């Protein structure tokens, strides 16, 4: 067995791999990854999307997609079958260490070498099939998981890119700079920076409070010379939705046909969806240069009507 | 050889993938990844994971650093870990506020040990962003925020704050051991250990190294939403596995008071009952809930004590209440 073949072979039909990075924890990597996957999924071209959660000691992706209970990964002769979260369409596949735990409160207490082996297994054994985008949610920091990912994905270098997430306060920005310098060291292209949790709108009086201050991300992007993808305020509707997608789904607000993919239907109603679809345009355009001419219209009305 | 009757290896066709001691793709007669023989038994020859198994076994014999750590830690009265499964819930902020609060008593000596090697925040939060560690004959001198408040962090060792620390586990462990044995704290009443998110190398190492000197306990920090609570459950599981007493749970960012209209709203809703229910379920004491105040974040950015600067904030009251309960 040559060193690169199993992973390269497995991911041969994956067109783009997007790593979601941030130096600091809790800035919203998982929620950005989830939104990125959902918004890419909602593009007109109906791409096939995969999401891989490599946060081994604190997986959040299963909860955010509402598949944290009673879902097991099945092993077939061709590898591990990911969990399809979009019902019958089977265009959105999801894989996380959370699916492998017997009880969800079990802790995964692993040192580096074991984490490395797990990541390699995720990359070489999961039967993704054809994917247009594979979104990889990473743990905070620049440690074992990140180095292992880059090592194993090295043969696929041309299809790799990354998105850096930060919150606007100084403490998070210093960590984001570390994340950016990581991408430089391993020569990983950066599609851009997203400033998350930028301001909170009081539901009572509408006053905007900058809980974690604001604008720091954009400044940082300018200084580090990377594209700034956008600013996302704290959206309580989104927080609620991703925290308990099952509860949101059961509310089923009297709409006539039950949506086939309730999470996406609900997500489209949040203010974040509108903002995020602008970001996704930029991401999709950056990844496929020929269609970049649409980006101008995206800023106008185009994105709001993406799908009824 | 005949006498070695191995247990029958687990059936290769498992209905669902799980995390067994013996991986499903292991060779026949795999001794199990946790075994003493992992990576060394005859069956391991040719296994793709042999190297990993061999390297992940615990070092044989006691770590040579242990006696030095024991000696250094003899002068530290209380050692408290601040843990949380999830990132960004406010571990470092809470650690810093706790430290400021302890240090407000001039006779109390407090030290803060920052184990977050990839993303150290303690230097910024304590207002020590551009400081450097000095080494002397008695070890590394920590950086002082106040005469009775010392701190050590990887941030003090980096030539530039921009540089990423891209280290794998063993290198991190080495630095942690060095922090514990080489830092010249002098006498300390409290050593607060700020940790990175998760349950991995850093956590295992600090617990291992401090086992002999004893850890007083761990404070778990969480935010109210279920995504964070899930990670805290894992952390509680971790504490119980390695035998660290849990001092209690702090719910951070619970509720937000709008500075405009003074109405409280929940940004991170406790959809599953929040920390309160978790505390009841897991039999852990809930030390208190700290509301979200934008000035906390600002204080942390400027490196000043929030408790001293805004004594009238409801968050200050909540902090002091928690600190009193320890």
Cβ pair A236:B269 closer than 8 A? yes
- ipTM of predicted assembly, 2 dp: 0.79
Nearest to B271 among A116, A117, A244 (CB): A244
Chain A environment of B11 (Cβ under 8 Å): none
pLDDT: which is higher, B257 or B93: B93
Residues of B in contact with A119 (CB under 8 A): none
Residue A228 pLDDT: 95
Instruction: Tell whether B270 lies on the interface with A, counting CB pairs under 8 A.
Output: no
Residue written as token pair 């994905």:
A153
Q: Does B236 touch chain A (CB under 8 A)?
A: yes
All domains of chain A in start order, with CATH: 6-248+256-287 (3.40.50.300)
Q: Quick one: pLDDT band at residue A181, thresholds 50, 70, 90?
A: very high
* % of chain B residues with pLDDT over 90: 43
The pLDDT value recorded for residue B11 is: 39
Q: How far apart are CA A232 and CA A137, in angstroms?
A: 18
* CB spacing of B161 vs A174 below 8 angstroms: yes
B7 DSSP assignment:
P
- Name the least confident of A30-34, A52-56, B59-63, B138-142: B59-63
Q: Binning pLDDT at 50, 70 and 90, where does residue B7 land?
A: very low
d(C-alpha A101, C-alpha A72), whole Å: 9
Q: What's the confidence (pLDDT) of residue B15?
A: 41
pLDDT in tens, B209-268: 998 888 999 999 999 988 899 899 999 999 999 999 999 999 998 888 777 777 778 888
Helix H or strand E encompassing A63: helix A61-64
Whether residue A63 is predicted with pLDDT greater than 70 in this model: the reply is yes
Helices B201-210, B226-242: crossing angle, 10 deg rounding: 30
Listed range (A42-56, A210-224, B117-131) with the worst mean pLDDT: A210-224
From CA A25, how far away is CA B198, in angstroms rounded?
Answer: 10
**Predicted confidence band at A131 (pLDDT cuts at 50, 70, 90)?**
very high
Q: Does B251 touch chain A (CB under 8 A)?
A: no
Q: Which whole-number Å values give the CA distances from A41 to A85, A258, B141, in the listed order?
A: 11, 19, 54
**Model pTM score:** 0.82
Contacts of B225 in chain A (CB under 8 A): 239, 243
Flag if B268 and A239 touch (Cβ within 8 Å).
Answer: yes
Residue B98, Cα to own-chain centre: how many angstroms? 15
Non-local CB neighbours of A17 within 8 Å, separated by 6+ positions: A11, A133, A134, A136, A153, A156, A159, A160, A161
pLDDT for the residue numbered A38: 95
- Give me the mean pLDDT over the B277-288 stretch: 91
From residue A271, alpha-carbon distances to A223, A235, A274, B160, B270 in Å are 29, 7, 6, 39, 21
Smallest Cβ–Cβ distance between A171 and the set B18, B124, B271 belongs to B124
> In angstroms, how far apart are the furthest CA atoms of chain B?
80
Q: Has residue B12 got a pLDDT over 80? A: no
Question: Residue B112 has which token pair?
Answer: 């803060």
User: pLDDT: is B325 or B215 the higher one?
Assistant: B215
List, for residues A132-156, the tens digit of each pLDDT value.
999 999 999 898 999 999 999 998 9
> Which CATH number is correct for B65-323, 3.50.50.60, 3.40.50.300, 3.90.25.10, 3.40.50.150?
3.40.50.300
Q: What is the pLDDT of residue A56?
A: 92
pLDDT band for position B28 (cuts 50, 70, 90): low
Percent of chain B whose predicted confidence (pLDDT) is above 70: 84
User: For residue A201, is pLDDT > 70?
Assistant: yes
Angle between helix axes B169-182 and A112-125 (nearest 10 degrees) is: 160
Residue B44 scores a pLDDT above 80: no
Say whether pLDDT at B19 is over 50.
no
């Amino acid at each position: 067995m040559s060193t690169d073949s199993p992973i390269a072979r497995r991911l041969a039909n994956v067109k783009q791999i997007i790593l979601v990075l941030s130096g600091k924890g809790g800035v919203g990597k998982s929620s950005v990854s989830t939104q990125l996957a959902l918004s890419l999924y909602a593009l007109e071209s109906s791409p096939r999307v995969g999401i891989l959660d490599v946060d081994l000691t604190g997986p959040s992706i299963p909860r955010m997609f509402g598949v944290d209970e009673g879902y097991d990964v099945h092993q077939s002769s061709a590898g591990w079958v990911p969990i399809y979260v979009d019902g019958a369409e089977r265009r959105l596949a999801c894989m996380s260490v959370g699916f492998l735990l017997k009880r969800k409160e079990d802790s995964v207490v692993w040192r580096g070498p074991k984490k490395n082996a797990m990541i390699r297994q995720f990359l070489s054994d999961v039967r993704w099939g054809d994917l247009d985008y594979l979104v990889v949610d990473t743990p905070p920091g620049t440690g074992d998981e990140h180095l292992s990912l880059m090592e194993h994905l090295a043969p696929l270098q041309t299809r790799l890119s990354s998105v850096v997430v930060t919150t606007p306060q100084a403490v998070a920005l210093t960590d984001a700079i570390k994340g950016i310098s990581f991408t430089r060291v391993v020569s990983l292209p950066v599609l851009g920076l997203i400033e998350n949790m930028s301001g909170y709108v009081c539901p009572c009086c509408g006053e905007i409070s900058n809980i974690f201050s604001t604008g720091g991300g954009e400044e940082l992007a300018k200084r580090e010379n990377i594209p700034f993808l956008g600013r996302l305020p704290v959206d309580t509707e989104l927080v609620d939705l991703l925290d308990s997608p099952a509860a949101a789904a059961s509310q089923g607000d009297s709409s006539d046909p039950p949506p086939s993919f309730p999470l996406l239907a609900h997500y489209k109603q949040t203010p974040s969806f509108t903002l995020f679809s602008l970001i996704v345009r930029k991401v999709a355009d950056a990844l496929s240069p020929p269609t970049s001419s649409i980006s101008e219209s995206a800023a106008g009305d185009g994105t709001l009507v993406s799908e009824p | 050889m005949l006498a070695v009757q191995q247990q029958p290896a687990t059936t290769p066709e498992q209905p669902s993938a799980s995390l067994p001691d013996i991986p499903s793709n292991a060779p026949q007669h795999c001794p199990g990844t946790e075994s003493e023989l992992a990576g060394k038994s005859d069956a391991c020859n040719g296994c793709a994971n042999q190297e990993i198994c061999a390297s992940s076994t615990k070092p044989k014999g006691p770590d040579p650093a242990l006696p030095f750590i024991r000696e250094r830690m003899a002068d530290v009265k209380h050692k408290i870990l601040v843990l949380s499964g999830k990132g960004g819930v406010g571990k470092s902020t809470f650690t810093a506020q706790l430290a400021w609060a302890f240090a407000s008593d001039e006779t109390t000596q407090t030290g803060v040990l920052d184990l977050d090697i990839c993303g150290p925040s303690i230097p910024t939060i304590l207002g020590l962003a551009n400081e450097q560690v000095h080494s002397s004959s008695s070890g590394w001198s920590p950086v002082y925020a106040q005469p009775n408040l010392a701190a050590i962090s990887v941030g003090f060792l980096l030539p530039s704050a921009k540089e990423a620390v891209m280290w794998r586990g063993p290198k991190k462990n080495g630095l942690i051991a060095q922090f514990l044995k080489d830092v010249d704290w002098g006498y300390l009443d409290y050593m607060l250990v700020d940790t990175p998110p998760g349950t991995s190398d850093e956590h295992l190492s600090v617990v291992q190294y401090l086992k002999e000197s004893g850890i007083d306990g761990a404070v778990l920090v969480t935010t109210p939403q279920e995504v964070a609570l899930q990670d805290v459950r894992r952390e509680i599981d971790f504490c119980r596995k390695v035998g660290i007493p849990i001092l209690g749970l702090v719910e951070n960012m619970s509720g937000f008071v709008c500075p405009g209209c003074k109405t409280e709203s929940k940004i991170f809703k406790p959809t599953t009952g929040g920390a309160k229910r978790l505390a009841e379920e897991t039999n852990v004491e809930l030390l208190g809930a700290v509301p979200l105040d934008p000035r906390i974040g600002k204080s942390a950015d400027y490196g000043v004590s929030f408790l001293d600067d805004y004594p009238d904030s409801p968050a200050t009251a909540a902090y002091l209440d928690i600190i009193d309960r320890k």
